Amino acid sequence: MRQMGFDLEDAAESDKFFNYALWPYTPAQSLENRLKPSNLLYESFGAAGADRRFFDLIPLLRQAIGEFHTVFGVKQQGDRTRWEFYFYDYRRRERERSLSRVLEAIRSLAPSTVLPNENIFYFMFSIDITEDIFTRGIEEVHLYIGNPGSTVSSGICYSLTAARTKFENIYFFFDARTQLRETAAKIACSAHIDTKKIALDEVLRPELRACKTICVANKPENDCVYFAGIRFDQFLFFLRMMNYRADLISFLEENRSKLDHLEFDVGLDYRMEEDKLVVLKSGYYGTF
């Protein structure tokens, strides 16, 4: 079945389901007459009029590291749509889904100048998916290292290029059911917002708290919060709150019965400007 210029991918009983951290989950309903989460990525490519090479990356990655093991992020920043692909292997040095393997898999479309060091204990990396990677090549990747000593799951992100390694941000994951107080405290301990002027509920949205994990990230110029494991109606709420395209919301509403078995993950980058909370960027995630 084709919609908006792309083939919809039907779910199968053999499918595997992961959140944006590649942690597995069980779908809420049976997979009969359901769709894969990859359709959300295809929809965003189609709506943006993306080059065919964006689509062509997907079979290359599936062949190299297996289906369901690439996480995609669809980011909205102003009126621009951006994409990022994330790759996990928690075995660290014993990894199979390595940076070297992924870069080699897509080299025919997007050559890279980055030189991976597979001795580093990274568990994740990501690549910004832009038209530049098809013309100039991949000049930067984002490498994620563990943060031993933290009382919660945590990671540190570095930008890696041929010339340098640079600190980017640090992440902390909280259980949304049992660690809401700690989550709120982490959000409040910020250089980017004043909680006497910005209510915590503006960041720790009550409509999205009923999820599985909440991740708080500290970045150089702003903070970020991610809600993982939200349900379909919460996802629609998020998209409307962040003023996503009407045709995306229509696509979801028209395919509710085919997509409401999924769990969704969303995030927003924010800071305070002139005593008001400003969302700089937002995004949603899935796997293919």
The pLDDT score that the predictor gives to residue 234 is 98
pLDDT tens track for 248-270: 999 999 999 999 999 999 999 99
Whole-angstrom distance, CA of residue 246 vs CA of residue 252:
10
Measured from the Cβ of residue 69, the count of other Cβ atoms closer than 10 Å reads 19
Mean pLDDT (the chain, rounded): 96
The pLDDT score that the predictor gives to residue 5 is 56
pLDDT at 1 over 70: no
The pTM assigned to this predicted structure is 0.95
The answer to whether 210 and 256 have CB atoms below 8 angstroms apart is: no
pLDDT tens track for 29-88: 999 999 999 999 999 999 999 999 999 999 999 999 999 999 999 999 998 999 999 999
Paired sense of beta strands 264-273 and 70-77, if any: unpaired
pLDDT tens track for 85-121: 999 999 999 999 999 999 999 999 999 999 999 999 9
pLDDT tens track for 153-205: 999 999 999 999 999 999 999 999 999 999 999 999 999 999 999 999 999 99
Whole-angstrom distance, CA of residue 46 vs CA of residue 43:
5
Predicted confidence band of residue 21 (pLDDT cuts 50, 70, 90): very high
Cα-Cα-Cα-Cα torsion 175, 178, 180, 185, nearest 10 degrees, comes to -90
The answer to whether 267 and 282 have CB atoms below 8 angstroms apart is: yes
pLDDT at 2 over 50: no
Instruction: Kindly state the tokens that stand for 8.
Output: 């919809």
Q: Any idea where the domains of the chain sit in the sequence?
A: 2-287
Plot region of 15 (φ>0 → left; ψ -120 to 50 → alpha; else → beta): beta
The pLDDT score that the predictor gives to residue 7 is 84
Q: What is the mean pLDDT of residues 7-14?
A: 94
